[in-house]
Amino acid sequence: MSAPRGTKHTLAPGDYLWCACGECEAQPFSDDPCKGGASAVPFTLEEETTLKVCNCKHSSNPPYCDGTHNRL
């Protein structure tokens, strides 16, 4: 079974936390703090933006999906 792909989200301007542990209830966003010692990744959007957020937790450019799930 392949890893979950990135999901497209349209987000309002503001501050966000991306879940790095994969166990937060608000996937792909963090409940802060992430479980298992992982650190949530903060990111800020200046304007409304549609982006693909990583769900596999292996992106080399978190929180953004970079297609790493295709190589897992």
Cβ proximity of 19 and 30 under 8 Å: yes
pLDDT for the residue numbered 4:
67
Please check whether residue 64 lies inside any domain of the structure.
yes
Residue 42 lies in domain: 7-71
Please check whether residue 28 lies inside any domain of the structure.
yes
pLDDT for the residue numbered 1:
42
Give the count of domains, the chain.
1
Residues 6+ apart with CB under 8 A from 39: 20, 33
Prediction pTM value = 0.82
Please check whether residue 25 lies inside any domain of the structure.
yes
In degrees rounded to 5, what are phi and psi of residue 71?
A: -105, 0
pLDDT for the residue numbered 65:
92
Average pLDDT, the chain: 86
pLDDT in tens, 30-52: 876 777 677 889 999 999 999 99
